[in-house]
Structure formats: structure tokens, C-alpha cells
Amino acid sequence: AQKVTQAQTEISVVEKEDVTLDCVYETRDTTYYLFWYKQPPSGELVFLIRRNSFDEQNEISGRYSWNFQKSTSSFNFTITASQVVDSAVYFCALSESLANAGKSTFGDGTTLTVKP
């Protein structure tokens, strides 16, 4: 069975601080996909990134970066120089295959609050 754990329920930082959101996953599959989504107060989930199990390269997109480590089954997300607009709930998700990504298992989310 697949499982995604986001141990940090809530995180509060002051603007311009760096923050890392943790994600630990469990799966028996050798091929799987990991995702991060952002859910602002409006409610819409916004896709941020997808990673497959064969690609452990870290990725950076502007102030966002992701650290995928198969050895520790973790897929952590770092926001550099946080801004108030980053305040949202962030979800990590796991899917057994790209075709079945609609059946992703989500973590319970981390609520990030960035204070001015």
C-alpha cells in the first residue's frame, strides 16, 4: 500500500526566510511518480512539480527547489526567500504510474503561513 507522510502540519515563517516542507513516502513499486501541489485559500489545487522514480536530480524553479532522495524515500520542497503570497496548504502526492496519476495518494498537507 502507498502512503505519504507530511509530518509538519503547520509552519509559520517571517517573510524572506527559507522554509523546507518535508515529504516521506512508502511504496512497493519500483516505478512511481511524486508530485507537489499548492492549495491557496481559494481552494484550487495548483500543480507545482512531478518527479519520476528514475530521476533523482534536484530541480530548481525560481525560488522553489525540490530534493528527491530515494535512499530515504523523501521528496522535500524548499521555498527560498519566502513571500506572503506563498501562504497556502502544500500537498505531496504519490502515484504508482503516470497513467494512474489520477489515483494519487496525497499526504495530509502542510499549512504554510508567511508573515510580513
| Cell numbers standing for residue 111 | 499549512
Contact footprint for another protein (CB under 8 A): 4, 33, 35, 42-47, 50, 91, 93, 95, 98-104, 106-109
Q: In the bound complex, what is the minimum distance in angstroms from residue 80's beta carbon to another protein?
A: 25
Q: Using the minimum distance from each CB to another protein, give the nearer residue, 15 or 64.
A: 64
Query: How many Å apart are CA 82 and CA 115, to the nearest integer?
Result: 9
Bridge partners (DSSP) listed for residue 114: 13
**Which amino acid is located at 1 in the chain?**
A
Q: Using the minimum distance from each CB to another protein, give the nearer residue, 49 or 80.
A: 49
Q: In the bound complex, what is the minimum distance in angstroms from residue 77's beta carbon to another protein?
A: 15
Q: Are 80 and 19 in contact (CB under 8 A)?
A: no
Q: Using the minimum distance from each CB to another protein, give the nearer residue, 13 or 101.
A: 101
Q: In the bound complex, what is the minimum distance in angstroms from residue 6's beta carbon to another protein?
A: 8
Q: Using the minimum distance from each CB to another protein, give the nearer residue, 35 or 68.
A: 35
CB within 8 Å of 102: residues ≥ 6 apart: none
**Which amino acid is located at 106 in the chain?**
F
